[in-house]
Amino acid sequence: MKVRFLLLSVAALVGSNLAHGMEVSGHLTLEGRAFEDGPAYAGQDNRATGAVIFEPELYQSWGNGDLAFEFTPYFREDSADPERDLFDVRELSLLWISGNWETKIGYSKVFWGVAESQHLVDTINQTDLAANPDGEDKLGQPMVQIVYVSDFGDFSFFALPGFRERTFPGRQGRLRASSHVDTSRTRYESLGEDERVDFALRWKHYIGDFDLGLHYFSGTNRDPILIPIERIGGLPRRVIPYYELMDQVGLDVQMTKGAWLWKLEAIARETSRDRYSAMVGGFEYTLYGIMDSVVDLGLLAEVHLDSRGEAAPVVFNRDLFLGGRFAWNDEADTSMVAGLFIDGNNGSSMVRLEFERRIGDSYKLEIELQKLASLDEADVLYPLREDSYLQVSLSRYF
Residue 226 has pLDDT above 60, yes or no: yes
- Helix (H) or strand (E) segment spanning residue 357: strand 349-359
Residue 158 has pLDDT above 60, yes or no: yes
pLDDT, average across residues 214-219: 98
236 strand-pairing partners: 231
| pLDDT value of position 42 | 87
pLDDT, average across residues 160-189: 94
Verdict on whether the full-model pTM lies above 0.85: yes
| pLDDT value of position 8 | 56
> Whose CA is closest to 145, among 133, 130, 156?
156
Residue 283: which pLDDT band, with cuts at 50, 70 and 90?
Answer: very high
Higher pLDDT: 294 or 19? It is 294
Taking the C-alpha atoms of residue 300 and residue 283, their distance in angstroms, rounded to an integer, is: 6
**Percent over 90 (pLDDT), the chain:** 86
Least confident of 41-45, 104-108, 282-286: 41-45
| pLDDT value of position 3 | 45
pLDDT, average across residues 216-240: 91
| pLDDT value of position 11 | 57
pLDDT in tens, 10-55: 455 555 555 567 899 999 999 999 999 999 998 898 889 999 999 9
Residue 235: which pLDDT band, with cuts at 50, 70 and 90?
Answer: confident
Backbone dihedral region for residue 43 (phi beyond 0: left; psi -120 to 50: alpha; all else: beta): left
| pLDDT value of position 18 | 53
Residue 240's contacts (CB-CB under 8 Å, 6 or more residues apart) are 181, 182, 183, 185, 186, 187, 226, 227, 229
| pLDDT value of position 13 | 55
**Mean pLDDT over each residue of the chain, to the nearest integer:** 93
| pLDDT value of position 255 | 98
Least confident of 40-44, 55-59, 188-192: 40-44
CA angle 97, 103, 104 (to 5 degrees): 115
Taking the C-alpha atoms of residue 324 and residue 316, their distance in angstroms, rounded to an integer, is: 19
**Helix H segments across the chain?**
2-18
| pLDDT value of position 19 | 53
